[in-house]
């Protein structure tokens, strides 16, 4: 999965919280317009970096015009010698910008955890180095999930993904660690993402409208941070990390 990759891109990313039955139904409705993505099915493993007081994610939850995240990501189950990505994800005025650099895992850890500047070889490396120093960034959270990915047959900019089995842990922050993780969503919930550089195609808008599927605001890291800092006084304790349906199905401005 790492033979070729785009290291910089900008696009709109919209999220929809649906059920497995809805995921199957909408895939059937729009299937004639989709093809398998270059890598159609895989598991993502992520380690998020943040300041000791979680400054990046805390600021992000205030819904500012600009926000940023830093993570180490493996596309597929990690194995020794497999390349991984150090990634910056920024969002400004509704547009998501991503920069990433591919490294061997050992080199990525030397760079991210030990600030080894030998791996600062381009603008992305310099940006990551700046963020590491600015936030005194350290490992904060592990998140993994399974992804099914499609691309538009006629629209090169359209990509639709379905994430399931989203799990996390706050200890053993190592891509190779094999421990029991906590589920973030109910077993029947699916996080669908629509990623486009231009407008939604009509066939997709029609399907979402017919199924009454609404956009939602959802951040995996943000939700976990909220769960970890929940308090009975604010009514924010969720059983076993599973969110109530009413929260994840709030409709926002449509597509």
State the Cα–Cα distance between residues 70 and 88, nearest whole angstrom: 5
State the Cα–Cα distance between residues 77 and 44, nearest whole angstrom: 7
With a pLDDT cut of 90, the percent of the chain lying above it is 75
State the Cα–Cα distance between residues 191 and 15, nearest whole angstrom: 7
What dihedral do alpha carbons 230, 171, 135, 90 form, nearest 10°? -70
Give me the residue spans of the domains in the chain.
8-248
The pLDDT value recorded for residue 9 is: 74
Percent of the chain as helix, strand, coil, to the nearest 5? 30, 40, 35
The pLDDT value recorded for residue 233 is: 41
DSSP state, residue 48 = E
State the Cα–Cα distance between residues 14 and 195, nearest whole angstrom: 7
Q: Output the tens digit of pLDDT for each of the chain's 255 residues.
A: 444 555 767 899 999 999 999 999 999 999 999 999 999 999 999 999 999 999 999 999 999 999 999 999 999 888 888 899 999 999 999 899 999 999 999 999 999 999 999 989 899 999 999 999 999 999 999 999 999 999 999 999 999 999 999 999 999 999 988 888 999 999 999 999 999 987 899 999 999 999 999 999 999 999 999 998 874 443 333 333 333 333 444 454 455
The pLDDT value recorded for residue 231 is: 47
* Token pair listed for 164: 């399931």
Q: Please count the residues of the chain.
A: 255
The pLDDT value recorded for residue 255 is: 58
Q: Which fold has domain 8-248?
A: mRNA Triphosphatase Cet1; Chain A (3.20.100)
What dihedral do alpha carbons 55, 144, 63, 253 form, nearest 10°? 180
The pLDDT value recorded for residue 6 is: 59
pLDDT in tens, 200-244: 999 999 999 999 999 999 999 999 999 988 744 433 333 333 333
């Amino acid at each position: 999965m790492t033979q070729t990759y785009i290291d910089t891109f900008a696009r709109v990313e919209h999220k929809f919280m649906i059920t497995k039955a809805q995921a199957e139904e909408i895939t059937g409705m729009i299937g004639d317009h989709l093809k398998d993505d270059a890598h159609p099915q895989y598991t993502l493993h992520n380690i998020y970096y943040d300041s000791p007081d979680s400054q990046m994610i805390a600021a992000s939850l205030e819904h500012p015009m600009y926000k940023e995240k830093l993570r180490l990501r493996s596309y597929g189950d990690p194995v020794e010698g497999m390349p991984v990505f150090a990634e910056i994800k920024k969002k400004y005025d509704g547009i998501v910008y991503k920069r990433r650099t591919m490294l061997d895992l050992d080199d990525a850890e030397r760079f991210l955890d030990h600030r080894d500047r030998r791996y600062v070889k381009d603008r992305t490396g310099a940006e990551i180095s700046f963020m590491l120093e600015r936030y005194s960034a350290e490992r904060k959270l592990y998140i993994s999930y399974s992804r099914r990915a499609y691309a538009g047959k006629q629209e090169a900019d359209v990509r639709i993904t379905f994430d399931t089995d989203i799990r996390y842990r706050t200890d053993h922050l190592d891509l190779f660690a094999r421990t029991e993780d906590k589920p973030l969503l109910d077993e029947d919930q699916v996080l669908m993402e629509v990623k486009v550089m231009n407008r939604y195609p009509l066939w997709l808008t029609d399907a979402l409208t017919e199924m009454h599927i609404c956009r939602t605001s959802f951040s995996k890291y943000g939700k976990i941070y909220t769960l970890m800092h929940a308090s009975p006084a604010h009514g924010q304790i969720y059983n076993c990390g599973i969110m109530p349906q009413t929260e994840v199905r709030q409709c926002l401005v449509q597509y």
